Amino acid sequence: MPRFLGLVLFLLISAPAANADDGYRLWLKYDLISNPALRKEYASIARFITCSENDPVSKTACLELQAGLQGLLGKPVPVQSSGFKPGTIELVLLPKGTPDTDNLGKDGFKIQPGRGRTAILAAHPSGLLYGAFEFLRYLQTEGKPGELSGVRRPRVQLRMLNHWDNPLGTIERGYAGASLWKWYELPETIDPRYRDYARANASIGINAVVLNNVNASARFLTPEYLPKVKALADVLRPYGIKVFLSINFASPKTLGKLKTSDPLDPQVRAWWQEKVREVYSYVPDFGGFLVKANSEGEPGPQEHGRTHADGANMLAEAFRPHGGLVIWRAFVYGPDPKGDRFKEAYQEFKPLDGQFAPNVIVQVKNGPIDFQPREPFHPLFGAMPKTPLAMEFQITQEYLGFSTNLVFLAPLFKECLDSDTYARGKGSTVARVIDGSVHDYPVTVMAGVANTGSDRNWTWHSMSQANWYAFGRLAWDHQLSSARIAEEWARMTLTQDPSAVATIKDILLGSRETYVRFTTPMGLHHIMGQGIHFGPEPWLARSARPDWTSIYYHRADTVGLGFDRTPQGSNALSLYAPETQQPWSDPNSCALPYLLWFHHVPWDKPLSSGRTLWDELCLQYYAGTDEVAAMQARWETVQPHVDPEWFADVRGRLAVQHREALHWRDACVLYFQTFSRKPLPPGLNPPKRTLEEMKRIVEIYQLR
Ligand code: BDP
């Protein structure tokens, strides 16, 4: 064979497949609609765009609409500043003060199909932006006539990502590469990726971003870094996104060289006022500060004998002239071996209700411990009628198998949001606390700890893109179902083939329960690997703090398993309304998914499933692991319908997940068996490895 022919052959073989999809475009692919009839139908309503507004956000709406339509329809869609020809989509800002404007609010929009003209109407430019993306979503998901028209309004005002990104480019609990923000080359160099990040957020309604880790470096508040923050704010602003920063409470001392950071000290107060003024001189529409104080070693007002309210109100005062917010986190807990971490945030914050300034919001994690695969909702929801509470979800999968595991989080988010606090009678769901309708909160916030990073596909596990998407969609409208979100995402991202969409949707919807089964079934929690929070370590008995061990939480002994939080135990149950307590309070009727959250249950107690606790526990671990194998088999069936690169990537990751599920199953079953001293129930093959071998595997994960 001539040499050059060999080279040509090599190049042909090694070239990526024509349709290889590296995941960069997320759900915003805008590939040509493959069904010609549909394409024709859509093309007839989208031949021209009219945009008469000139502000940056309206212009973005217009350009995004144009780019999306051109891709989907495969032909140019001209934009005009006025005029009307049949087949025009018109973006219209409504005059102020009309009933329609009041009804739409800040970010809402109305889509009004008419004869030869579809109007997207909004009271503010951001509404046009969200309306444009909604229109595109309609085409991307092959929507039917009638589904398009109507009014859409977000239920929560601030739909926010919290980045736990560090100044040196690492991300705390980030599994998708380095930070997106290249602090060292800002502000001179603007990575085009910042804009793509902004587009993705805007397309799902996210309108606020905290740029840096809650374990915050003070450097972001310096004149060296504020121009960098400004540069990012300038890129995000045309996409309707406001920038916030996490701050270090000790900054007056570390940065300002004051003697103290005491929030009641006049010099400290003046320092913050000046600092906040300086921030606004760079970013005139700056959102505010997010604060982790007196938590896990971070400084805070308590070192000075002051309360969380004293600290938050001092900052709130500095923001008042500028309209900014202070988002104060309630993630606090003291290291009390005899205490119950479940109760600590409640005990610290509940007495402060009514003491916070009006521009303070208290941000509460979804559950009382820490982003576990399943938690009951945090008892503070419903308990702070006078203090706006923000929801904090974790999108990054710190406790959910990092990015090696496929776990769709919409069902986890929904489970919490749909829980009833009974704060103002039946129907006072967590979602309605967060959206302000239960207690008339003037400010409403839903935050998610981001799972993005510098990996080409943004989220490392390509299927974890669905979690970013789901968070945004639920922050916009918590009434959307997980099934609908899964379907939208699958269609926009992977395929239009109906059976493949149905399979992917099923895989997504079952994945969280599967993860719970093979890691922490029936209400077990916090038994993961120390420090890295990966893999099983139920035997962990010693750590820097008692509440960082596993035995603190599972309480296994020869009698049984689980944390007694009834009045005979820590009585954490009493923090909930009586109606919420009721279904959890009796071990005989408590739903199995919550059983070990609230009860210490004897190993041979018969459960509602008809099996004893021990048998049921083993069965869950085995079933969860088998379900991963079933996910693998189901994924194989979608091969003809999804991009080859995606297919192979997910196939590999599911195999990894199966290996990890076996680790969890074997480690937990063997370890808990040392307490139950019972054989595995009939039909289950005992693990092939010994407990010592499992301990060794976990140790390897933690070697330096
Ligand atoms: C824990 C994480 C830790 C965070 C902390 C927080 O392990 O890295 O700093 O949450 O939310 O779950 O502050």
Tens of pLDDT, residue by residue over 536-583, are 999 999 999 999 999 999 999 999 999 999 999 999 999 999 999 999
Which are the contacts of 22, defined by CB distance < 8 A and separation ≥ 6?
Answer: 456, 457, 645
Name the band, by pLDDT with cuts 50, 70 and 90, for residue 100. Answer: confident
Minimum-distance ligand 1 atom for the alpha carbon of 295? 13
537 catalytically annotated? no
CA of 644 to the centre of ligand 1 (A): 36
Asked whether the beta carbons of 559 and 602 are under 8 A apart, the reply is yes
Query: Is the pLDDT score of 323 beyond 90?
Result: yes
Tell me if 571 CB under 6 Å of ligand 1. no
Indicate the burial class of 357 (C-beta count within 10 angstroms; 0-12, 13-18, 19 or more).
middle
pLDDT at 8: 44
Kindly give the pairing relationship between strand 560-561 and strand 325-329.
Answer: unpaired
Ligand 1 near 488 CB (within 6 A): no
pLDDT given for residue 18 in this prediction: 44
Indicate whether residue 170 lines ligand 1 (CB < 6 A).
no
Q: What percent of the chain has pLDDT over 90?
A: 93
Does ligand 1 lie within 6 Å of residue 173's CB atom? yes
Average confidence (pLDDT) over 104-132: 95
Read off the pLDDT band of 15 (50, 70, 90): very low
69 sits in the region (left: phi over 0; alpha: psi -120 to 50; else beta) called alpha
Q: What is the mean predicted confidence (pLDDT) over 580-600? A: 98
Closest atom of ligand 1 to 392 CA is 11
Confidence check: pLDDT of 282 > 90: yes
- Distance from the alpha carbon of residue 365 to the mean position of ligand 1, in angstroms: 10
The runs of H, that is alpha helices, within 566-681 are: 578-585, 595-598, 613-637, 644-676
Interval 656-672: pLDDT, tens? 999 999 999 999 999 99
* pLDDT value of residue 12: 42
Is the CB of 215 within 6 Å of ligand 1? Answer: yes
**What spacing in Å lies between the alpha carbon of 439 and ligand 1's midpoint?**
29
In this prediction, residue 20 has a pLDDT band, given cuts at 50, 70 and 90, of confident
pLDDT tier at 704, thresholds 50, 70, 90: confident
Task: Tell me if domain 7-152 and domain 167-474 are identical in fold.
Answer: no
d(CA 385, CA 440): 8
Phi, psi dihedral angles at 117 (to 5 degrees) = -150, 135
Which residue's alpha carbon is at the smallest distance from atom 12 of ligand 1? Answer: 370
Mutate to test the pocket of ligand 1, among 162, 163, 166, 173 (most ligand atoms within 8 A of CB): 173
| DSSP per-residue letters across 642-668 | S-HHHHHHHHHHHHHHHHHHHHHHHHH
Q: Give, in degrees to the nearest 5, the angle at Cα 75 between 69 and 76.
A: 75
Ligand 1 centroid to residue 396 C-alpha, Å: 11
What is the whole-number distance in angstroms between the Cα of residue 57 and the centre of ligand 1?
34
Phi, psi values for residue 19, rounded to 5°? -100, 20
Q: How far apart are CA 675 and CA 354, in angstroms?
A: 47
Exposed e or buried b per residue across 516-526, where buried means at least 16 C-beta atoms within 10 angstroms of its C-beta: bbbbbbbbbbb
Burial of 347 (0-12, 13-18, 19+ CB in 10 A): middle
- Note whether 642 and 500 are within 8 A (CB): yes
375 is catalytic: no
Q: How many residues does the chain have?
A: 704
Beta strands at 208-210 and 48-51: parallel, antiparallel or unpaired: unpaired
- Ligand 1 atom nearest to 399, measured from its CA: 12
**Residue 271 DSSP symbol:** H
Q: Transcribe 81-107 into DSSP letters.
A: SS---SSEEEEEEPPTTSHHHHHHTTT
Average pLDDT for 203-227: 98
Residue 19 has what pLDDT? 55
**Predicted TM-score of the model (pTM):** 0.96
CATH number of 7-152: 3.30.379.10
Q: Are 529 and 623 in contact (CB under 8 A)?
A: no
Which pLDDT tens digit goes with each residue over 231-240? 999 999 999 9
Distance 394 CA to ligand 1 centre (A): 10
What type of residue sits at position 496?
A: Q
- State residue 10's pLDDT score: 42
Q: What is the amino acid identity at position 401?
A: G
**480: amino acid identity, one letter:** L
506 is catalytic: no
Buried b (16+ CB within 10 A) or exposed e, 280-318: bebbeebbbbbbbbbbeebbbbbebebbbbbbbbbbbbb
CB of 298 closer than 6 angstroms to any ligand 1 atom: no
**180 Cα to the center of ligand 1, angstroms:** 20
pLDDT at site 294: 97
Out of 74-83, 221-230, 519-528, which region has the weakest mean confidence (pLDDT)? 74-83
Those residues whose C-beta lies under 8 Å from the C-beta of residue 578, and which sit 6 or more positions away, are 422
Q: Where are the domains of the chain?
A: 7-152, 167-474, 516-701
Q: Are 351 and 362 in contact (CB under 8 A)?
A: no
The token pair at 261 is 């950071």
The pLDDT > 70 percentage for the chain reads: 97
User: Which alpha helices (DSSP H) does 400-531 contain, by range?
Assistant: 410-417, 430-434, 465-476, 482-493, 498-519
Residue 159 Cβ contacting ligand 1 at under 6 Å: no
Token digits for 45? 């309503």
CATH of 167-474, one of 3.20.20.80, 3.40.50.720, 3.10.580.10, 3.30.2010.10: 3.20.20.80
Ligand 1 atom with the shortest distance to the CA of 298: 13
Ligand 1 atom with the shortest distance to the CA of 365: 11
Tokens standing for residue 471:
């968070």
Over the chain, what is the mean pLDDT?
Answer: 95
Q: Looking at 31, 142, 285, 296, which residue is catalytic?
A: 296
Q: Using CA atoms, how far apart are residues 439 and 112, in angstroms rounded to an integer? A: 33
Strand (E) or helix (H) holding 3: helix 3-14
Residue 165 predicted with pLDDT over 60: yes
- Whether ligand 1 lies within 6 angstroms of the CB of 331 is answered as yes
**Beta-carbon neighbour count of residue 421 at 10 Å?**
24
Catalytic residue among 344, 398, 537, 643: 398
Task: Place domain 516-701 in its CATH homologous superfamily.
Answer: Alpha-glucuronidase, C-terminal domain (3.90.1330.10)
Alpha carbons 298 and 319: distance in angstroms, whole number: 22
Cα(684) to centroid of ligand 1, in Å? Answer: 37
Segments of 318-385 assigned E as strands: 325-329, 360-365
Summarised one tens digit per residue, pLDDT across range 347-404 is 999 999 999 999 999 999 999 999 999 999 999 999 999 999 999 999 999 999 998 9
Omega before residue 187 within 30° of 0, cis: yes
